[in-house]
Structure 1
């Protein structure tokens, strides 16, 4: 099955234990696509025996991932091209962003990135390959091991990199992995897994992965699979509905690892107004953060707090709007048109000058609203709300546990703000313009993913 159309519907490929599923298809999505019927017994690995990769050395897994990355980069079998062809007509992202995102997938498989995760999150490969001796108080000696887990991944489809990240993390754990394909990206994960299978057919890591689609919340599937006799942890990405649905199944022996829904903001210090050049740099960096994946990613800035007067904030907002329409690696010059209901609300704000000012139109190239307080709707599709503040410390009150990334300009102001932001619940403070792309080996959403995914076992 290579994704051919059946009666006008796109055929989605399933991967079962490293092999493409050629079983009979069922129709999904009001007839828009078909996918193989699920055999739930084939989607679990019995606990009576170790997973295929439980005893594979980390060095061998890294080599396989590096080779997979090179194969993705070359795409000799056309699997990524095939996935891209099927994604482009249905994705919220423009084809040009998808093309560049697919072209960058191989970067997640680079050797330095893989070892950065192993070294920084787990303290080295020894605890994956065997037992690490630890010294305890009173001269006692024990051993600990990061034991391979059994994982179900509910992955998000807002950016193709989530699938690559999930495959890499799943492989490095040595565990068994069932990936649920999201309805807004039915193709990326299986293209990556099929590429890995072409690199090393039948390899234990390859046989440790399955990727299939079912409708989210389908109790006939989830009530069977989401059980501790089959899996240790549910790794869930997504909105509030996805996370609350996952919580229904959490209990003793079955843990939730949640990448919660997040939003991100920016803090622009008064230093931006020291010169025209400084203001241009700040606006360009603020636009880069706001437009990342056309604001479809959690790291994309939606609210930007400017230390200065309303007039200074207006100067910044005008430049920001211009730069939102600049194409970058992971943003396009244009985007989706602003929905009618949101246009009506913004039109009301336009009529309320000077309390509000609005720059830009509704064509998706970018729109900026300046207001004295954050607007009460969710800016989306390259819409940014600029809010003037007397001091950046005042903006900390607008951060919370749902705030993932905060970009700060200039860099020198991060030190004075980061503790207060962390106290408010923020998970990530970056230089303005650096929100996109998380360096491997650092925490993600407030925890170290590899460390959290493992099953930690002691020998005392």
Structure 2
């Protein structure tokens, strides 16, 4: 059993009285951390006025802070980031090559121009920088401003970037964040926070970030923390059980923003099968969507619908494509994708059952390297929700209505080929529930200047306040009775 220390960080203060112990996800790792409940009076920001220091700095100063922070997060030079990588190698579902690449590029997330563009497009820089006035009816005016909120961020640990993005979002919205770290990545947020403390211990952004680890569902912590006197928003990246648990604490004064797990898919039009070279090119692109982040992300393709047809010729084309896709997945470079770190037992059982008894499926590949299951009919495998470990399911169809109707509110990303097919399908896919439509091969390259999971999380992280003004003449007018005796 290898033990890792996970400090509690509260607004610039690093607490290291390690007394709580938790088992890690790999069974051979133990996490020790301060008892969060012991420090609840410090963790909860009960005085909203304490956030006024965030409004004494300009938006440009916030961007400068993030840019400087990024320069201090290089893996080769930052021992905190090195420790986070070391622990993630034990707890993450990502292979070593991918993790090293993630941490080596962590500093790039804090680029100044990236966040200027992101805020301008998703919130409006003028709204975070001051009151924006506009005219309303009857000669009045209204001023609107986006204010930061006291929030708890329950983040996912499937990729280290989630922690970095959360910290940057909190900074540019002038929020006070408590980040609850996950057991498969308990140190990345802490590494960034400790770097912030070393860089600028008294800066308002440093003083409005806390990072804590506790076991999800610990009522002695959550019942005391999730109260309107302490927080105004909960931003939760989590599964159904996690979100259901958090929702029991909701009451007037607390807003829940969920970025819950999704399933993603692919639609390939008949043009894919024009010739072998086109098939191979499409298979190489589809492999990127399946393999990026070891198929650990919500945006990874799992079911791939191909408009090959379901007659024997169509099934043969689908099988040939499945074989190509399996080869392309295995050929992906190790910094991008790799063999499964830990096989999902439930998925393994389902795959073994198919090999033994199903004449309706062909399997190319297998084991930790991944596999492609080709349905010999126009239906996905009945365990499609379990697909992981670089295992994809190719499904031949005669009509693209089948993949369109398969889209639900749980669908996130859909990769489409050829490009011309996107314009034909995107409206109907969106109506059915799709939340992100990309060119084939682009699922792992999200645009953070736009929506996420069909919402705009950064806008919702803010509190939108309005100041209304009306001329005295209008206020007097509303008191004058009309001929009918009604109030005007």
- Give 5+ residue unaligned stretches, structure 2: 309-313, 469-488
| Alpha-carbon distance in structure 2 between the residues aligned to 1:137 and 1:429 | 39
Deviations 1:163-182 (A, max 9, x none): 01100111111111000011
2:74 is the alignment partner of 1:86: no
Q: 2:380 aligns with which of 345, 368, 374?
A: 374
Larger Rg: 2
| Alpha-carbon distance in structure 1 between the residues aligned to 2:12 and 2:281 | 47
- Give 5+ residue unaligned stretches, structure 1: 1-6
| Alpha-carbon distance in structure 2 between the residues aligned to 1:393 and 1:106 | 43
| Alpha-carbon distance in structure 2 between the residues aligned to 1:330 and 1:239 | 27
Deviations 1:420-455 (A, max 9, x none): 110011110000100013112100011112111000
Deviations 1:2-58 (A, max 9, x none): xxxxx9521112211123213343222288121012200111222352314243211
| Alpha-carbon distance in structure 2 between the residues aligned to 1:339 and 1:168 | 33
2:17 is the alignment partner of 1:17: no
Deviations 1:76-117 (A, max 9, x none): 342211211122122222121111111121221112210121
* SS state at 2:85 partner: helix
Deviations 1:192-237 (A, max 9, x none): 1112222222211001000011110111100100011111100000
The alignment of Structure 1 onto Structure 2 pairs a total of residues equal to 452
2:59 is the alignment partner of 1:58: yes
Describe how 1:408-447 pairs up with structure 2 within 5 A.
408-447=416-455
* SS state at 1:291 partner: helix
* SS state at 1:335 partner: coil
TM-score, with structure 1 as normaliser: 0.94
Describe how 1:168-179 pairs up with structure 2 within 5 A.
168-179=168-179
CA RMSD of aligned residues (A): 1.8
Q: How far did residue 337 of structure 1 move?
A: 5.7
Tell me the equivalent position of 1:242: 242
In 2, are the aligned partners of 1:151 and 1:177 still within 8 Å (CA)?
yes
| Alpha-carbon distance in structure 1 between the residues aligned to 2:2 and 2:370 | 35
More displaced 10-residue stretch of structure 1: 244-253 or 78-87: 78-87
CA spacing shift, 1:349–1:26, aligned 2, 3 Å: closer
2:327 is the alignment partner of 1:322: yes
Q: How far did residue 75 of structure 1 move?
A: 5.2
Describe how 1:276-425 pairs up with structure 2 within 5 A.
276-308=276-308, 309-328=314-333, 331-336=336-341, 338-351=343-356, 355-362=360-367, 364-371=368-375, 372=377, 373-377=379-383, 378-425=386-433
Tell me the equivalent position of 1:71: 72
Tell me the equivalent position of 1:180: 180
* SS state at 2:431 partner: helix
* SS state at 1:112 partner: helix
CA spacing shift, 1:36–1:341, aligned 2, 3 Å: closer
| Alpha-carbon distance in structure 1 between the residues aligned to 2:56 and 2:257 | 24
More displaced 10-residue stretch of structure 1: 256-265 or 73-82: 73-82
TM-score, with structure 2 as normaliser: 0.89
In 1, are the aligned partners of 2:10 and 2:42 still within 8 Å (CA)?
yes
Tell me the equivalent position of 2:33: 35
